[in-house]
Amino acid sequence: MNASPRPRLPTDPSAPPLLRRSHRLHRLLPTALALLLGAPLLAAVHHARPAPYGDRLTVHARVAPAVEPRLRMRGAAVEAYGSRGGSVHWTYARAGRRPLAVLPARGDAIALWDDGLVTATDATGVRWHRALPAAADWLAAHGGAGVLRMLDPGTRMLAVVTPHRVAAYRLADGDLRWVLPARRGCAFAPARAVHRGGAILIAQPCLAADSWSGEIVAVDALGPIAPRRTPLGNEWQGGRQGGRQGEHHSAEHPHTGNLVARPR
């Protein structure tokens, strides 16, 4: 007696195309279901992740971009509020931190925090963060008086003055443009700085100073004021369509005792 012919499997090349497609679909179905069921879980995990640096920005009222709100520190937060009625536009706080100083700049709030972080914030979000090396202990003891300084009338450049160094950042993107370290045996005094024209005179008391002029440093947007210095080219090349774009960082190299960003 002849045995009955074996049924052809769907993977058989000679099987009808419909059976082959059905078999492939059967194999892919568990993977597709897993992806569909996992998508909401992945989205929930993404939203549950803590914000970088503990950022908590709450927008209370939408205003025109041309309106520059006033700024104040209230409790552990920075608030932007309107000049009429005092209604709060937005509030920015960082988990477990408190602001020590806040400075308005072209609609941004430049804030100094007790852990040595400097932030730039507007109603659209926290645009950049910059950390100050080895500054947290000194800030805890002395506060933030005089640490944040504008370097030019157009508020394009920000100076951050700490005892060990003066650092300049471009406000458009937070790019570090130059760094001036304090002389050996000396320390900058942020609270003892004054604006003179387009420059800032910063006290730099030393343990053993040869003359009083050695205890004063003059800086502007291009760095320490000195004869025959090389311009840095601090203009931002990013453009501002639809708001500010991402952050860009320049290379640095030593130059007459300072760290200077490469011209561009």
The pLDDT tens digits for 193-212 are 998 888 999 999 998 866 66
Among 55, 53, 56, 63, which Cα is nearest to 123's? 63
**pLDDT for residue 153:** 72
Mean predicted lDDT score pLDDT of the chain:
77
- Residue given tokens 């988990």 in the structure block: 95
Question: pLDDT band at 68, cuts 50/70/90?
Answer: confident
DSSP at 79? E
* Sheet architecture: strand order including 117-122: 99-105, 108-113, 117-122, 125-131
The pTM for the full model equals: 0.70
Percent pLDDT > 70 in the chain is 64
17-42 pLDDT per residue, tens? 544 555 555 665 566 555 555 555 44
Residues with Cβ within 8 Å of residue 213, at least 6 apart in sequence:
none
**pLDDT for residue 127:** 93
Task: Annotate 53-63 with b (16+ C-beta within 10 A) or e (fewer).
Answer: bebebeeeeeb
Rg of the chain taking only CA atoms, in angstroms: 29
153-169 pLDDT per residue, tens? 777 899 999 999 999 99
Tokens of residue 112, six digits: 């100094």
Tokens of residue 124, six digits: 């659209």
Burial class from Cβ neighbours inside 10 Å (0-12, 13-18, 19+) for residue 183 reads middle
